[in-house]
Structure 1
């Protein structure tokens, strides 16, 4: 895991060395072990690299790295898990090869030299963001891994093309403009993150996963091609279920075999390695397989909270004791989590409002005390149907879609016309006769949300109601327009649930989950690896029929069948918990003054970006306890904190 940055420019009289040093220094924490720059002033190209040494800790892994033919110069962020296999294949095919070291960087560069860029990229199993300069043709290539584990931003700013792992590297360059894109900001308020390919700044984009971008001074319009298309994988495999005559009863063993191989490859490291363990299905599966492959106890890490509602540490400890891992748990207090908040604006570079970013930072900080690499269980929900919202949305739509829309809207208007407080009072009258496991908190809020669900015109609108915050009707960003985003209809004949899973794979996973983990881990100079995102597992998962993922109203059936080989069923079966913190009560307590300053009506009006009225209304209602607007408010607060932090750096949009 490293950090890359650089630029291609038409400008003359540029101090290449100074610019590249500053770009690298801005992301030093991504690679504290080594630093290098390379530039060619005549061709206007400069490359900057920060290294976190994982494989080949010697100087032979230093970057930027020049190919043996001297045609290519490369900087690389990530890990190639099959690079030793690729070396063997290349050595067998090209007998004259002489290897200088044993880093995966050299493997990739040698392969590009010998068999070309696209053939090499298609052969890689791993996570990566690559910048490659072709000296012969004066071309710059930017390449991103298939799912989007590693970040890569790019864009023209005047006569200079900037790129890097994080926006803060681009912002150090003198050409950087930094005008806020209000249209992209509007998407942020809807999703809690800025979805690809957009960024918070005009003229700067995220390279979409599975892509190769080519740009040159002669052809400044970037050309982007897909070498691997997740949407195509999802859609095509809909017609190729259980291909190769794989029988249903063979599915668990096939998945187990794939995970065994992926995890074995991802445990390759020249530095200490461990895993996050929440006690849930995904992380327990990863740790169970890791421990089965290791003669020594695997190091595992868990964050605990005193609030039982948010605490999974007890379950993780039970799993760790059964598997006999070397387990470390840390119970954090409110003061520990609150101390993270001031770090968030600079950690995430652009507004980002998934509140689980806080415990994610804390667990990566805990892990870094003992290891340099940690495996995680991310992506199990998206691949194997783990989110409750899939079942809820599909079930709800099947029940209400038969009713005429006019009737549903009439009922919804009536439901919404009753205040949440009145709903809560009515609920309290009957609460005593409702079994404890079915009782609800914030009943009034849920009834109002249900009214919006009921009025949905289609499944897309219903799903958006469940998964988004500020709607377009709120007009929370002044002067914002509409930008196109991914939708459920793009998957054709897929079932409702699979369309929702596919949409999450394309959007929520790379732009929220993977961003959250990457930035939090890199802030602690910790490499994270995600075995479920081995593309062979992704392709297999989309070949499996839905009824082997969801059974009897329960998600992840297939994954559970694998897990039960390693961990007893009774240690796993319990309601799903999110990795969250009590933001709602904190905003009324220890975070109140901080939030009040950021939501100051006069300051927001002066800033002229947000529509103040609906924000202040929700803030007052939340403080009074009348409503729980924690998610809406957190989205605003994270933008405001970011914006204030940027005050002396960016130019304000008009």
Structure 2
């Protein structure tokens, strides 16, 4: 992995000190090498984590053989060797064994259409010295981040917002109320929104071109238009299963290309266990696997991971902590997460990344299996609710009123779900951290965009014949996965200069899964039906059928216990309200409600507390 930074068209002389300051904020993303290139009003900078061709031949910024194009690139192109063969008639004198050089030659030959040829995760910038134009792109699924801002008549871009502000100290840090409101409702910043009015995030599967003061953006790939293929229901199940096996094996094999030590995260759940099993299938040498265990059994998955490691014969590494040991990671969290981030599973993600980096530079993970194959519990809930919303509205409203009177947190939430007009509005409620806890921004603040609009504008692009569950899975794939879960993985791993690869998010596998009829994902009371069937070829039933656990962290308990004074001090900080237009009384009410034990308000509270370092 790497960090990239650049500026073009800025009416300001290039300052190497500012460029170095920007790169320094991303030093953990690229500890092995740094590079700077400048010409006229274009400048590019790069910090490198050497994974492929770690020699100086892979140094960036990289200039094309004809000297026309200059590249900065973060990520990995897994099919670069096949592309290199295909491009042999364009370039016969390769200077390196890197995928970066292949990108340059591919862009020179195909222009922006070269994106359709790539398999991998990436954020990149290419400067055309002849046309005086900049081309930016982010990978299809959004594994790698990319931010940009207009500045003094030009454009600046980087892997992280902090690098933009270090490179351009005068760039406005004013708060984007639209982005802030969405964060406080969703728990993440949907692209293109960020916390700052001056900074945008390039959406997954998009490109941007800048030339002589004009900026154009476009999409080159989207999961939204892909429809389930109904006649796949007529195929023999084993035939469909073989196809999935082939796609996943191919994806895992392609992600094992590395010139540095490589391993895998192993939680003991289906997704990571299947990835490790397939690694074992295509490799002969022992695989290094990594797990964080907890002393508290309700949070601990390590015994399941150990069972998989024993079965597959991996070189297993495990660190056992108390969940309260994760509190020691709070300073590291605030150092490396340079945007507000509410997902507390970032703490164990940091811990397992720290453990893995002691042994390897690259790890494979299991992100994406739930979104693609129906793993989250609320997909099953939503499927049952679809028939409920066909009942008369008066009947539904009456049931919701009855439930709302029950003094139970879960009953209150269920009452709100049943009070929604349809299943997709219910899903928006389920996916929101706002829930029924009310508005926390000042009354005089009225953002124009809310989560309803983000979700339903996305739904409008989908085929009209999709069920609510299929729409929900596409919403998660388009918004929650790239902007929350993959952001967490990227920042947690990069905090320790560790490259994380996601074989379940190969775009061919994603496209195939979107064509898969829903009954292959949810069947009866079974979630991830087909993926479980595949896992049964490699893993024992006790691993496949154990309840889903996830990277849970007891933030709710911490806020009532060891973090109570810490939280109180921050909630009392006047800068929080001055900077973010929050209603102090509403925030204090939320905190007191949580402390009372009547409701579990911790996701909303934690999101507010994560704003404090940015006040």
Normalising TM by the smaller chain, what interval?
over 0.9
Shift of 1:411: 3.3
How does 1:461-476 map onto structure 2 within 5 Å? Answer: 461-470=425-434, 474-476=438-440
Q: Separation in 1 of the partners of 2:490 and 2:465? A: 34
Q: Matched residues in 2 for 1:204 and 1:608: separation? A: 17
For residue 268 of structure 2, what is the aligned residue in structure 1?
279
Paired residues, number = 606
Query: Is residue 16–residue 46 contact of structure 1 (8 Å, CA) maintained in 2?
Result: no
Are positions 1:406 and 2:394 aligned together? yes
CA contact (8 A) 1:153 1:204 kept: yes
Q: Look up the match of 2:559.
A: 587
The 3 A distance-change label for structure 1 pair 255 and 16 is same
Secondary structure, counterpart of 1:261 in structure 2: helix
The separation in 1 between residues aligned to 2:580 and 2:278, in whole angstroms, is 53
Classify the secondary structure of the residue corresponding to 2:263: strand
1:246: Cα distance to partner?
5.9
Change (3 A) 1:45 1:308: same
Q: Taking structure 1 as reference, are residues 607 and 3 closer, same or farther at Cα in structure 2, changes over 3 Å only?
A: closer
Q: Is the 8 A contact 2:175 2:580 kept in 1?
A: no
Q: How does 1:238-637 map to 2 (within 5 A)?
A: 238-239=228-229, 242=232, 247-399=236-388, 401-418=389-406, 420=407, 444-470=408-434, 474-478=438-442, 479-483=445-449, 484-487=453-456, 488-491=459-462, 492-600=464-572, 604-607=576-579, 609-637=581-609
CA-CA distance at 1:561 after TM superposition: 1.5
Task: Please give the secondary structure, in 2, of the residue aligned with 1:355.
Answer: coil
Does the 8 Å contact 2:269/2:543 carry over to 1? no
Task: Report the CA distance between 1:10 and its aligned residue.
Answer: 3.6
2:104 paired with 1:138: no
Indicate if the aligned counterparts of 2:261 and 2:361 stay in contact, CA closer than 8 A: yes
Pick aligned residue for 2:207 from 206, 212, 215: 212
Q: What is the rounded CA distance, in whole Å, between the counterparts of 1:470 and 1:340 in structure 2?
A: 26
Match of 2:16 in 1: 17
Q: Which runs of 4+ in 1 moved over 4 A?
A: 601-608
Structure 1 residues 473 and 596: alpha-carbon distance in aligned structure 2, compared to 1, 3 A threshold: closer
When the two structures are superposed, what TM-score results if normalisation uses the length of structure 1? 0.89
SS in 1 for 2:71: strand
Is the Cα contact below 8 Å between 1:601 and 1:616 reproduced in 2?
no
Contact 1:32 1:525 in 2 (8 A): yes
Residue 223 of structure 2: which of 226, 230, 244 is its match? 230
SS at match of 2:611: helix
**2 CA distance for matches of 1:606 and 1:109?**
47
Provide closer, same or farther for how the CA distance between residues 475 and 624 of structure 1 changes in structure 2, counting only shifts above 3 A.
closer
1:22-80 Cα deviation digits (max 9, x unpaired)? 21111111000000011112xx1110100000000100000000001111000000001
Q: CA deviation at 1:189?
A: 0.7
**Structure 2 unmatched runs, 5+:** none
CA, structure 1 residues 18+615, in 2 after alignment: closer, same or farther (shift >3 Å)? same
Q: Which runs of 5+ in 1 are unaligned?
A: 421-443, 645-654
TM-score (norm 2): 0.95
| Residue 127, structure 1, aligned to residue 121, structure 2 | yes
| 8 Å contact kept, 1:273–1:372 | yes
Conserved? CA contact 2:288–2:316, under 8 Å: yes
Q: CA deviation at 1:605?
A: 4.7
Does structure 2 retain, via aligned residues, the 8 Å contact 1:186–1:480? no
Q: Deviations over 1:562-587 (max 9, x none)?
A: 11111122232111112111111111
- Residues in 2 aligned to 1:167 and 1:190: alpha-carbon distance in whole angstroms: 21
Distance change >3 Å, CA 496–CA 90, structure 1 → 2: same
Determine the C-alpha separation between the residues in 1 that align with 2:404 and 2:515.
42
* 1:456-490 deviation line (CA, Å, top 9, x unaligned): 11112211221111159822122141324133454
